[in-house]
Amino acid sequence: MQKLSKRETWGSKIGVIMAVAGSAVGLGNFLRFPVQAASNGGGAFMIPYFISLFLLGIPLMWIEWTLGRYGGGFEHGTAPGIFHTLWQKNRFIKYFGVIGIFGPLVIFIYYTYIESWTLAYSFFSLIGKYKNITEQSQMQAFLRGFQGLERNQYFASLFPAYVFFLITFILNIGVVYFGVRRGIERLAKWGMPILLVCAIILLIRVFTLGAPDMNRPSWNINNGLGFLWNPDFSKLRDARVWLAAAGQIFFTLSVGIGVILTYASYLSYGDDVVLSGLSAVSTNEFAEVILGGSIIIPAAFAFFGPDRIRNIATSGAFNLGFVTMPLVLQKIPLSTIFGFLWFFLLFLAGITSSVSLAQPAIAFLEDEFDIERKKAVSIFGILTFILCQPAIFLLGKGVVDELDFWGGTFSLVLFGTIETILFVWVFGMERAWEEIHRGAQLPIPRFYKFIIKYITPLFLFFILGFWFIQQGLPVIILKNVSLDIRPYIMVTRISLIVLFLVLAILVKIAWRKKRFVEERLR
């Protein structure tokens, strides 16, 4: 039995680097990172952050690039097939790989809706829909009205939000419909430079604000940067700060999700994964640390001062991005243009990430069931459109938080641990080291061999253990969930279990089909 078509490949090295960087550079770089840094000791947070980057993020990035390229050589682009190629004697290992399809799929069904808010606010900025709003409470009401959480003078129904969701969803499906090279790579090669240009323009504008209020000269950008970056070293004794820093590295690099495995599977046999992985990491860190860390918090400090900034900084990513930042930008000349640039860069960050979340499930249908891409995308589009509806209509019932926990946190940490142990201890460190360096133009320092073999797995077990005790267990036992939304949470959990089991059954069917074909060819 022949494959319906040859597997796709990337069109250029810069294309795959931009695509992986686009997957990593998402809403979290500009919204989540400033919140995490400001609420976890400011500059002190950056100590465990960079330690996590060098001991966890970069090794995991190399591991996933290498695993993906290796599995792609066997025509597997998703974790079940890649895990099977690493440990063929174990007939159960492929089911652990289901997490690498389940996680991205779950994130996609709520991330796309959140991404659509950024497109809507880009439009609202241009038409001046919120230009007369001057207070935080009013802007919060505007956001809640748009989300359908309340009816008010700004929005009478969820209809506007749903229209922008439809547009965003169609754009995502359209990109993946055109494939890896003509769709995802083309989007990344155009979208990433535009995103960075928008961010740099905003950064320059923020840095030229000075002290907006002449009566309060201490309310300036320098002191705003100081609020974010001056270290509170006492925070380093708190395990939660280290956990938050390591978690941010997971989120920001898109490791442990399964996306990079799929992207790297489209590499050729001798393509360099060492330099490509470092390039993708560097692009992401520039976007997060230099740009994301220097726009929102310093600007908010300059306009709202030291008394209100702490509450603003810790009020959550959505409040920072959709409430505080529009108010800040409205206070400067050409606010319409800068407001548009802010939300449009968030939209570009969102869509380059969300199309990457779609690819593992589509690649699974293509590689394991020999389904032609257009048909695979159609199946994915219909399924995810149905699954997106609870995230839209039950936003106020804790559904999105539940999806984010299981898809964007639990699966991510667990999958990262599994793939590292499998690659280093089952595949073997010597083979792994040789595989990483195949085609590499830049040799990895040898001390990283020790780090990847021992430090990274121990770090992952530490994160997994402390995370489970501090955050995972309370969520699992519904400790802080009010009684009125518990039924929605339980239904969501049951639905996720069913989804995971369906994916596992599909893996079983795919491998049974392969064995049947192999036996017939003997």
Q: What is the pLDDT of residues 41-62, one digit of tens each?
A: 888 899 999 999 999 999 999 9
With bands split at pLDDT 50, 70 and 90, how would you rate the model's confidence at 477? confident
User: Distance between CA 194 and CA 406 in Å, rounded?
Assistant: 32
**Three-state secondary structure call for residue 403:** helix
> At residue 242, does pLDDT exceed 90?
no
Residues 6+ apart with CB under 8 A from 220: 209, 210, 211, 302
3-state secondary structure 200-239: HHHHHHHHCCCCCCCCCCCCCHHHHHHHHHCECHHHHHCH
pLDDT at residue 4, rounded to an integer: 45
pLDDT band with cut points at 50, 70 and 90 for residue 467: confident
**Residue 25's pLDDT band (cuts 50, 70, 90):** very high
Q: Is the Cβ–Cβ distance between 367 and 81 less than 8 Å?
A: yes
The amino acid that residue 158 corresponds to is L
Q: 418 vs 237, which has greater pLDDT?
A: 418
Identify any residues that bridge with 42 across adjacent strands, giving them in sequence order. 231
Residue 305 falls within a domain, yes or no? yes
Lowest mean pLDDT among 15-24, 229-238, 483-492: 229-238
Rounded to whole angstroms, how far apart are CA atoms 467 and 360? 26
What does pTM read for this prediction?
Answer: 0.93
Dist. CA 364–CA 370, nearest whole Å: 9
Nearest of 113, 110, 111, 173 to residue 359 by alpha carbon: 173
CATH number at residue 330: 1.20.1740
Asked if residue 235 belongs to a domain, the reply is: yes
Q: Which domain, by its residues, includes 271?
A: 13-521
Q: Which residues pair with 231 in a beta bridge?
A: 42
Q: Which among 104, 166, 173, 161 has a CA at the least distance from the CA of 393?
A: 161
Q: Is residue 512 scored above 80 in pLDDT?
A: yes
Domain assignment present for 275: yes
pLDDT over 80 (residue 522):
no
Confidence of residue 520 (pLDDT cuts 50, 70, 90): low
Determine, yes or no, domain membership for 392.
yes
Of the chain, the percentage scoring pLDDT greater than 70 comes to 98
Nearest to 414 by CA among 79, 15, 172, 157: 79
Q: Which of 455, 498, 471, 491 is nearest to 413 (CA)?
A: 471
Degrees, nearest 5: CA angle 189-276-439:
130
The answer to the question of residue 8 being in a domain is: no
Give domain status of residue 6, yes or no. no
DSSP per-residue codes, 408-458: IIIHHHHHHHHHHHIIIIITTHHHHHHHHHTT-SSPPPTHHHHIIIIIHHH
Entry field: residues in the chain: 522
In angstroms, the CA 305 to CA 219 distance is: 5
Q: What is the end-to-end Cα distance of the chain in Å, rounded?
A: 12
DSSP collapsed to 3 states, 131-170 = CCCCCHHHHHHHHHHHHCCCCCCCCCCCHHHHHHHHHHHH
Interval 20-39 mean pLDDT: 89
466-475 burial by CB neighbour count: b if 16+ within 10 A, else e?
bbbeebbeeb
Residue 38 counted as domain residue: yes
Average pLDDT over residues 152-180: 96
pLDDT for the residue numbered 169: 98
Rounded CA gap, 343 and 336, in Å? 11
* Mean pLDDT, range 474-497, rounded to an integer: 91
> In angstroms, rounded to a whole number, what is the distance separating the alpha carbons of residues 484 and 143?
23
A 10 A CB-CB count for 268 gives 11
**Across 258-280, average pLDDT:** 93
pLDDT over 80 (residue 511): yes
pLDDT above 50 (res 3): no
- Which of helix, strand or coil describes residue 198? helix
Amino acid identity of residue 213, one-letter, is D
Backbone φ and ψ of 232, nearest 5°:
-105, 90
- Long-range contacts of 93-100, Cβ-Cβ distance < 8 Å, separation of 24 or more: 93/422, 94/507, 94/511, 95/504, 95/507, 96/418, 96/422, 97/507, 98/500, 98/503, 98/504, 98/507, 99/258, 99/411, 99/414, 99/415, 99/418, 100/257, 100/258, 100/261, 100/360, 100/415, 100/419
- CB count in 10 Å sphere of residue 6: 7
What distance in Å separates the CA atoms of residue 398 and residue 443, rounded to the nearest whole number? 47
pLDDT in tens, 330-378: 988 899 999 999 999 999 999 999 999 999 999 999 999 999 999 999 9
Instruction: Dump pLDDT digits (tens) for 97-127.
Output: 999 999 999 999 999 999 999 999 999 999 9
Give the total number of structural domains in the chain: 1
pLDDT at 521 > cutoff 60: no
pLDDT category of residue 488 using cuts at 50, 70 and 90: very high
Average pLDDT for the chain: 91
pLDDT band at 2 (very low <50, low <70, confident <90, very high): very low
Whether the CB-CB separation of 123 and 168 falls below 8 Å is answered with no
Residues 290 and 293: their CA atoms lie apart, in Å, by: 6
Retrieve residue 282's tokens. Answer: 């560097």
Q: Confidence class of residue 516 from pLDDT cuts 50, 70 and 90?
A: low
Find all residues with CB under 8 Å of 172, minimum gap 6, and list them. Answer: 112, 351, 354, 355, 358
Domain membership flag for residue 379: yes
- Residue given tokens 């991510």 in the structure block: 412
